[in-house]
Amino acid sequence: LSQGYVWCVDADLKSYFDTIPHERLMALVQQRVVDGSVLRLLEQSLKAGVLEELKGWAPTERGTPQGAVISPLLANLYLNPLDQELERRGWKLVRYADDFVVLCRSQEAAQRVLDYLRTWTQEAGLTLHPTKTRIVSAQTEGFDFLGWHFRGGKKWPRKKSLQKLQEKLRPLSRRTQGRSLPAIIGQINPILRGWYGYFRDSHLNGLRGPDGCGDACGRCCASGRNGPDMG
């Protein structure tokens, strides 16, 4: 953003993990794995099917196994050709699993990126979410990514990140269950430390250190408000 990449293609793949085509995925795997037994085992895992109500096991031709350790690796592998092509074209991609943004210097360049993404995803058997995929100005509108909100060269926790923290802390902060104040603090502090550890580089006032985090979060959680404007 500081280098002038102030237009953002905020992309969202609709039901990505459930829609990855097996045939195309296996073709990508075969480019890297030559052990036939491993390939057969992986293919069997992909085609194991799902349990449908009243129908029993139904075969599947799309999607990675839910909860399987290898699913994130396969999902990353499937998007690797897109990563390489975007890099080859000189576009700035930031991706974590199926959550990604592409940063551009102009709105026109962002539109070219979006047009390419639509073509690529269609050919890859994937779908861009029609309402969640958009072009935004990082200077005025901003965008959310991995729990953060980025706007105007600054970043702070997105509203949903603070709301989730509030939801986690409220039940713990109630003293109606007969717990002592030190016991409550002992449960809350590790959560606040973890939250602050992730968002410590925020430009939001009040997040200057663990004490600041505790003060700001404590006030917000006690009041039930969303706190400052967080995008």
Given a cut of 50, is residue 220 above it in pLDDT? Answer: no
| 101 contacts 13 by C-beta, under 8 angstroms | no
Residue 50 belongs to domain spanning: 1-146
Q: What is the pLDDT of residue 173?
A: 77
74 occurs within a structural domain: yes
152 occurs within a structural domain: no
Whether residue 134 sits in one domain with residue 32: yes
Which pTM does this prediction carry? 0.77
| 15 contacts 128 by C-beta, under 8 angstroms | no
Q: Measured between alpha carbons, how far is 69 from 188 in angstroms, rounded to an integer?
A: 31
Using the 3D structure, point to which of 125, 146, 167 is the last residue of a domain: 146
**Cα-based angle 6, 76, 108 (whole degrees, multiple of 5):** 25
Mean pLDDT of 64-76: 89
Q: Which two tokens stand for residue 134?
A: 């958009």
For position 50, which CATH number holds?
A: 3.30.70
Q: How far apart are the first and last CA of the chain?
A: 17
Q: Measured between alpha carbons, how far is 27 from 19 in angstroms, rounded to an integer?
A: 16
Q: What is the mean pLDDT of the chain?
A: 85
Given a cut of 50, is residue 61 above it in pLDDT? Answer: yes
| 227 contacts 220 by C-beta, under 8 angstroms | yes
- Per-residue pLDDT of 95-145, as tens digits, reads 998 999 999 999 999 999 999 999 999 999 999 999 999 999 999 999 999
Given a cut of 50, is residue 88 above it in pLDDT? Answer: yes
Using the 3D structure, point to which of 123, 146, 169 is the last residue of a domain: 146
Whether residue 10 sits in one domain with residue 90: yes
Whether residue 141 sits in one domain with residue 164: no
Q: What is the pLDDT of residue 219?
A: 47
Mean pLDDT of 215-220: 46
Whether residue 122 sits in one domain with residue 66: yes
Given a cut of 70, is residue 221 above it in pLDDT? Answer: no
Q: Which two tokens stand for residue 102?
A: 């592409």
Q: Into how many domains does the chain fold?
A: 2
Q: Measured between alpha carbons, how far is 24 from 140 in angstroms, rounded to an integer?
A: 39
Q: Which two tokens stand for residue 195?
A: 């939250």
In this structure, the chain runs to a length of 231
